[in-house]
Amino acid sequence: MKYGLLASVATLAIAMGAAAASHAEEADYKLTACGHLTTVMLQSGPDLSVWSQQVWYAIAPPAVPRVFENNAGHCVDYFRAMNGKLTHMGSCRWTDPDGDTFIGEAVDVPDKPGVWTFLSGIGKWKGISGTGTYSVLNISKPVADGSQDLCVLLTGKYALP
């Protein structure tokens, strides 16, 4: 009987250890992404403006953690400004220097900070999860072709299995 109980306790301890090992520990991230964007305006007016953007960027060192440094990205976004309130949704694919990628989603709703969520990854990023906020640090005035340069600060927590 003692051995059966001991075996059960040992099995439970091993199972709990395996379960704990399978859950990734979250880590903080703090990244500055700088890049270039182009805009396609669908409607522009005082009460309603609707447009799409594509953004190409790179993560500038120093990044926390360093594994994000020099990642490049491409985002496709939709924006709506209605009665002075901004709504936005977009997806970005990041590619690291080794060619591994992950996809995330950015969402802005009126009167709240922008939220970033990691969705999926390939290679070393397989199983990435986490979320955080982002804010525009600076953005240039549009040049003749309508494009702009910008930098965005992303902070939050992420986990890898």
Q: What is the pLDDT of residues 64-93, one digit of tens each?
A: 999 999 999 999 999 999 999 999 999 999
- Residue 19 domain-assigned? no
- Residue 138 domain-assigned? yes
- Residue 12 domain-assigned? no
- Residue 43 domain-assigned? yes
Determine the Cα–Cα distance for residues 82 and 105; give it in Å rounded to an integer.
22
Domain that holds residue 145: 25-159
The CA R_g of the chain, rounded to the nearest whole Å, is 21
Residues 6+ apart with CB under 8 A from 130: 26, 29, 117, 118, 156, 157, 158, 159
- Residue 17 domain-assigned? no
| Amino acid 62: pLDDT | 93
The 10s digit of each residue's pLDDT in 21-66 is: 345 789 999 999 999 999 999 999 999 999 999 999 999 999 999 9
The number of beta carbons lying within 10 Å of the beta carbon of residue 59 is 22
- Residue 64 domain-assigned? yes
- Residue 46 domain-assigned? yes
The answer to whether residue 146 scores a pLDDT higher than 60 is yes
How many structural domains are present in the chain? 1
CATH assignment at residue 102: 2.40.350
